[in-house]
Structure 1
């Protein structure tokens, strides 16, 4: 079993979502390399989760990557922007973790050029992350994080001082899992979506080191 398969299996999806916080995600495109620390994630728990693309066993060609091996990239479009999940758990178990926000670490100027933004608005939401990385289509859908140009460094992690937990953003609140506490974030990090400036740690960004 590869390190990626081991990381994305054998424990609850919620635990994996928390463990992704503080790990560096990067994308190497023809325009250059961009990267950032993951500061916000959301867990989606498969066929029993009312907010999941696989709810009630729904399976289409569009969502087929969600049923792939652990560590597979699942890219999907929301309005005009592309978002992506890291697929977790065993193959045919359609659970995923949405990468909702990043704190940029590399390629800042390229991100700003793509987003026409500066500061925390650059990457404080899943569509913004996709645009800042340069995701303009679904060609990475179904590829393994382990070998794709979009990857997550699992060898090291910056530790959050504390991890915040809340319900997910933008899901149907009337669904059975609409208010489930499945959103995780680096507490007080200014790049977290919906983080108010008065609640932000503008010095250490919520990191424990």
Structure 2
């Protein structure tokens, strides 16, 4: 079995995971920064970077220990290269590059949005669903992005076609901004999510979404 250590520091969570043979998640360790950013009502990039510096080594060590692996038993490393906060990304990339050089192991740069898509595909594999037909239509809804992609598996990797995306704020940003205006604190998204079913869906008439490019 080939083992890959994945490292993620694109925003406000330091995460590391060990995956075996491309489909077996042997560990998944995440260090949250909610307590750090809560007093400011949102993520402060400089503080996020400093927290990543503090957390990355213990998080990686925990991921390896939980998976029963060592640095030397790894076959490759993978790290988020973007998109994300520049300073936060720099911590993960620098750490992964140093490990790759010291261990003489291959380093794989991962697009954070592509990672969202493959996380779902990985869950499907783990659930025993191996009959996925391609191409697949992938909706990526996160804090900073709301995109619709057509993902196709190729002989030498994957290809992605952008079908559509929001023109201004992503869905996650809208959640956070509305929560802040209503005084729900940070993170306010879960509060909005809890209260939404209790509201009147017809109270505000929204415009029809743009279906064609101008």
TM over 0.5: no
**Larger RCO (CA under 8 A, 6+ residues apart):** 1
Larger radius of gyration: 2
| TM-score (normalised: structure 2) | 0.25
**More helix by percentage:** 2
Q: Normalised by the size of structure 1, how large is the TM-score? A: 0.26
